[in-house]
Amino acid sequence: MPKLQFDEKVCETCPTADCLVKCRFIDVDKDQAKAEMLRIARGEDSIVFDSCVTCYACEEYCKRGNHPFYLITEKREEKGLLTAPRAITTQWINIGEPQGKYKVGQIGKKVLSFGYMPELLDMAKGKLFEDLSPSFVFGQEFFCNVVYIHFANTSIIKKRLPMVMENFKKLGVEEVVCLHDECYGSFAHLAPAYGIEVPFKPIHYFDYLYERLQELKEQLRPLNIKVTYQRPCSSRLSSDKHRRVRQIMELIGAELVEREYQDENALCCGGIFAMLYGYDLANEVQTKNIEDMISHGAKYCVFNCPACQNTLGDKVAKKGIIPVHMIDLCKMAIGEKPLPEE
């Protein structure tokens, strides 16, 4: 069974304990933060179990290669501290259960992975994907399963993720372009943290889009719009790819407004908060986030994950900000889709 690689000695000598010092949901100073992480690592009780709302951010805050959030999740599960009622957890686990109903295209050495996100199937068409789109995978058999860390259930990930890797291995693929941000996080971050072998090179679709847009440079027309970017919780597992947002916006002539809740200080869409911790927390986070977008002059909100767009898209639209997925925005920049009027 895969085992989390977490070294408590790395925490003992940590000069910042940024994992919890920076956590916006837990109020501790450096000494207490370090003490709490060590208590968790040693299997003791901690205030963190009561307050952590599973935002994933400490995975990005820790710059020492330890895995604070994965550890919190492991220990919660060991102690039976579920984050959601058991029926809801079970329902979610059933959604990701492999059913043998997966779809694969004409598989080449490089494939597009839709994970288990039907919204992405229609999006990955046109010039941006013309060479790659025939070679794809879709379904639970290729689903990253990372969502279960929100539910304090790493055992299901440890069981299923090696099976997912085996499914890719059987296809003989060498590179997988992940259109689902969380799938990339799973293959590039979570799997290595658990010592799970990844038999291909995972590629984030931001890297793919950036390269493809450069190839199509002649067709690019600056969009001349003010946008904000809605960062998903999953991108805490691929923070090295976040720079691509700015680079892509520069390439397509979209001005990324500077605002408070961006980059490392981003607020998530609140979808998981509504489900696990109630509407008050979700509303509080969403209201702060949207007011921040408005007060900094954003006219469009660019989404990375379709699930975030499902959660927050209508809410930003009601406030006069146009929701648009990153892929659609790139299609608009090459003239393949009309830009919705402000």
Q: Which residues bind ligand SF4 (CB under 6 A)?
A: 10-11, 14, 17-19, 23, 25-26, 34, 37, 48, 52-58, 62, 64, 66, 68-69, 72
Q: Which is nearer to ligand SF4, 57 or 257 (CB)?
A: 57
Supply 96's token pair.
């990701």
Q: Which is nearer to ligand SF4, 54 or 113 (CB)?
A: 54
Torsion of CA 37, 39, 40, 45, to 10 degrees: -130
**Distance in angstroms (rounded) separating the CA atoms of residues 117 and 113:** 9
Q: Which is nearer to ligand SF4, 48 or 177 (CB)?
A: 48
- DSSP for 129-141 reads GTTTTTSEEESGG
In angstroms, what is the minimal distance from the CB of 93 to ligand SF4? 20
Contact (CB, 8 A) for 200 and 175 = yes
In angstroms, what is the minimal distance from the CB of 12 to ligand SF4? 8
Phi, psi of 183, deg, nearest 5? -65, -45
Q: Which is nearer to ligand SF4, 276 or 339 (CB)?
A: 276
Supply 234's token pair.
């999953």
In angstroms, what is the minimal distance from the CB of 199 to ligand SF4? 29
Residue 230, SS3 per DSSP:
strand
| Axis-axis angle for helices 243-252, 205-215 (nearest 10) | 20
In angstroms, what is the minimal distance from the CB of 274 to ligand SF4? 15
- DSSP 8-state symbol, 15: S
Quick one: 151 exposed, middle or buried, by C-beta within 10 A (0-12, 13-18, 19+)?
Answer: buried
In angstroms, what is the minimal distance from the CB of 17 to ligand SF4? 4
In angstroms, what is the minimal distance from the CB of 66 to ligand SF4? 4
**Distance in angstroms (rounded) separating the CA atoms of residues 198 and 85:** 32
Q: Which is nearer to ligand SF4, 68 or 232 (CB)?
A: 68
What sections of 216-325 are H helices per DSSP? 243-252, 271-277, 279-295, 306-318
Q: Which is nearer to ligand SF4, 66 or 113 (CB)?
A: 66
**Distance in angstroms (rounded) separating the CA atoms of residues 58 and 239:** 11
In angstroms, what is the minimal distance from the CB of 26 to ligand SF4? 5
**Distance in angstroms (rounded) separating the CA atoms of residues 319 and 44:** 45
**Distance in angstroms (rounded) separating the CA atoms of residues 164 and 141:** 6
Q: Which is nearer to ligand SF4, 69 or 184 (CB)?
A: 69
